[in-house]
Structure 1
C-alpha cells in the first residue's frame, strides 16, 4: 500500500503559504509574515497531533446477506466499525478490500463522529453490494479508513487488519420438473434377487405400522391374522434418484484441483449437479449424491428437504477435483441394484467412456448423462447405449439441455 501524504490539499496549501511567509519575511523584513507563517505551522501541527496522539479503539465486524452468496447474484455486505474517541472527528472516506473474482463498489464516505467518553462506543455501519464470479470461500478486507482533523488540514490512514470469510456457493439453474415420473421411477434401491420368483402365490405380508399407505393393506392376510397386514413387496416409498458428479481432474484441467472457481468446465459441472439435486429433491425424490468412485459427496437427502439442499450447496462451494480417474469403473457401483433416475455429470467424455457406462442404463428408470466436453461421437454412442445425453459446456443453455434429455427419457419410459 502506498504511503499516504499526510496533508490534504488545504493543508498542503497552508504549508506552502507558511514557507512563502518565511521567505517573504526574510526578503522584505516584515516580521508579521514570520508570525503568520509560524501560526500556520502551529495549526498544521495541532491537526496532526489530533489525529495521531489521540488514542482511538476501533473494531470491525462484517456480515453477509444472505449468509451464503451465490455466483452471479448480488449480496449485501454490512461492515460495522466500533469507534471510541473523546474528541469529535471530521468526516473521511473508507474502502474495503475485495478479493479476486468479487466485484463491487466497496468504498464511500465515513461519517463524522461526535465527542464522547472513553467507555462509549459508537457504531458506524458501512454497506455495499458485491457480486462474485467465482465459487469458493473468499476473504474481505482489510478495511481502510482515511480520516482528517477538524481543520481538514492533515489526514491519517488507518488500516484494520480484520478479515471476514464469505462463502459463495455455485449458481442454481432453474430446471423443468420431473413430476410425470413420480411413482413410476422406481422405489428405494433394491436387489434384483429380492424380486426373483415372486408372484401372486408367494406374497409376503407384515404387520401394519403408522404411516403405511392404506392401498398396501393385504385384506385377506388381515382377516386371517385379525390385525392389519400390508404387502411387503409393494412398499411405497419416496422414489429414489442418484446424482453422480465425476471429479476426476483428468477430465477437466489441473486448475480444477488447485482452486475453486479456476476451471470454467468444472464450475459448469458443479452448477449443473447442484441444480439437478435441487430439482429432484423439490420433486419429492430422495437423492444420493456420489462421486464416480462411490464416495458420498453429501448425506442422503430426503424428498422435499430443501434445507438439506442448502447444506449441500454450501458444501459444494468448496468442492474441487481429485486426482484419480474412476469413471469407467462406475457401473460396478450399480451392480445388483435398481433405482429411479440416475443423473451423471462428467467433464470430458469420449466414445470409450460412453461404451463403458452403458450397463448403468439397465439399472435406472431414467438415465441422464451431461458432459461438459464430449467428443463428437461420444454423445451418439451414449444415446445408442440408452442414455439421454446432452452437452453442458460453460456457454450452453443448461435448462434447454435438461428439458430435451428429460422429455426424450419420459417418452421412452411411457412407450
Structure 2
C-alpha cells in the first residue's frame, strides 16, 4: 500500500498552486518551480516502489503460553530479499508487528540502513509482550514501511503470517490449612480409609499411549518385562466438582460489556485457583460449566495444563438455561456463580446436600445467611479468590472481605 504523507501533500499542493499562479501572472520561473515540486513528489512515489524489497520474517515467541502478569519475548528474524544479484540500499525502513488484545506490547522498530545483496541479509529484531487478562491474542502479520529520503511518500508491505499466543488465567495460592469440604474428609484421608478397609489395591495393566509416567508400576514392569502402570480408577470413583455459571444474563450486572468480561475473568481465575488448590490436597477435580459441559479433570498434576488452556478461552454464553446441579458421586461441590437468589439455593440444596462452597458475584447478606443455614460455606466473589475462599471458610458476613492473596 502506497500513500502520500502530509509533507508530500503540502509539497504537491504548493506545486499545483505555483503552476496555476505562475500561469496567471505570466511568470515562467514560478511555473517551472511548481512543475519541479510536483515532479519531486512523483519521483518520490517511484522511489519507494524501487526501494521496497521482498521481506520474509520468522517469528519466535518464548513462551507461546504464559500466565496473566507474566511476559513473553518476541524475536523477529527478518530477511530482505533482492533479485538480479546487485546490491541495493534500504533507507528509512520501519517495521510494525501488530499486537491484539489481550496482549499488550509495542512491536515497532527500525530496520535502519542495510546493504542487501542477492542472498538477503538477516536483521534480528525483538520486543516484549505481556497481558493483564486471560485469552488468546495474535501477533502480526509484520508490516514493513519504506519512506523516500524527503519523507514525501510511504509504501507499506505486509509480510509473513500471524502467530497465536495464549494467556492463561492467574492462579492464586489459597490457604492450605482450611478444610476443603464442609465436615468432610480430604481426598487423601478418604483414599487411606478405603485402603485400610480392604478396598482393592491398584491393579497394574500394560502401558497405553497417553498414560502418565508417574503411574508406572516399576515392580510389575520388572516382573512382566514390559511397561506396566497402576489402574487406580476404583479409588477415584468419588470426586470433587467445580461448576462455573456461564450464563451472560446472570453476569451482566454493569452498564458496559467490559464489566461482564471482567466478572467472567474473576470467575475463571477463581475456578483455576480452587481447582489447583483442591488437586494439591489430593482431590480428583471435575470442572464443568452451568450447561453441563465438562471442561476437564485434574488429578494430581494430570490435566492441569489442558484445563488452563480451556479456561483461557471461556466466555459468557447467551443462554436462558437454568443452572441445574447434580451431586452424583461428588463429595464436594464448589459453585462459582453470578447473581444467586434464595429460591435457587433451595433447589441446589435439595440436590447437593451440605457439602457445598458457594462463591457468588452478587450475594446479599440475606442470601448469604440462607446459604449458610444449609451448612454451606459461602462468600462474595471478588478480584481476589484467595480472600473469597478464606472468607467462605471463616464464616464472615457477605459484606466483609478476607486477607491478602498470593499469586503463583
Q: CA deviation at 1:270?
A: 1.5
More strand, by proportion: 2
Is residue 348–residue 372 contact of structure 1 (8 Å, CA) maintained in 2?
Answer: yes
Within 2, Cα distance between the matches of 1:187 and 1:153?
Answer: 72
Paired residue for 1:253?
Answer: 252
Match of 1:127 in 2: 127
Work out the CA distance in 1 between the residues paired with 2:393 and 2:4: 64
Look up the match of 2:63: 66
Q: Does 1:92 align with 2:93?
A: yes
User: How many angstroms does 1:90 deviate by?
Assistant: 1.5
**Structure 1 unmatched ranges of 5 or more:** 213-234, 410-415
SS in 2 for 1:111: strand
1:379 to 359, 368, 375: 368
In structure 2, the CA distance between the partners of 1:209 and 1:99, relative to structure 1 (3 Å rule), is: closer
* 1:314-333 matched pairs, under 5 angstroms: 314-322=309-317, 323-327=319-323, 329-331=324-326, 333=327
Residue in structure 2 matched with residue 146 of structure 1 by the alignment: 145
Give me the whole-angstrom Cα distance separating, in 2, the residues matched to 1:303 and 1:127.
36
Query: What is the SS of the residue equivalent to 2:89?
Result: coil
Offset, 1:383: 0.6
Question: Which of 1 and 2 has greater Rg?
Answer: 1
Backbone CA RMSD of aligned residues: 4.7
Relative to structure 1, the CA distance from residue 303 to residue 238 in structure 2 (aligned partners, 3 Å threshold; closer, same or farther) is farther
Equivalence for 1:281: 279
- Quote the Cα distance in structure 2 between the aligned partners of 1:266 and 1:373: 13
TM-score, length-normalised on structure 1?
0.67
Per-residue displacement from partner, 1:113-166 (whole Å, max 9, x unpaired)? Answer: 21211x435244242434344x43333445433223467665433344843333
Look up the match of 1:403.
390
Counterpart for residue 350 of structure 1: 341
* CA drift at 1:84: 1.0
Partner Cα separation in structure 1 for residue 105 and residue 153 of structure 2: 29
Q: TM-score, normalised by structure 2?
A: 0.68
Q: The residue matched to 1:284 in structure 2 has which SS?
A: coil
CA distance in 1 between counterparts of 2:188 and 2:307 reads 23
Residue aligned with 2:270, SS? helix
Range 349-358 or range 397-406, more displaced: 397-406
**Residue pair 2:99, 2:106 contacting (<8 A) in 1 also:** no
Cα 1:39–1:264 change in 2 (3 A) is closer
Cα gap change, 1:384 to 1:408, in 2 (>3 Å):
same
* Local SS of the residue matching 1:88: strand
State the 1:48 CA deviation. 4.3
Gaps of at least 5 residues in structure 2 are 205-213, 216-233, 397-408
Q: The residue matched to 1:377 in structure 2 has which SS?
A: helix
Once the two structures are superposed, the pairs formed by residues 98-247 of structure 1 within 5 Å of their partners are: 98-99=99-100, 102-117=103-118, 119-133=119-133, 135-149=134-148, 154-160=153-159, 162-178=161-177, 184-186=185-187, 240-247=239-246
Cα distance between partner residues in 2 of 1:41 and 1:72: 52
Change (3 A) 1:65 1:282: farther
Q: How far is 1:330 from its partner?
A: 0.9
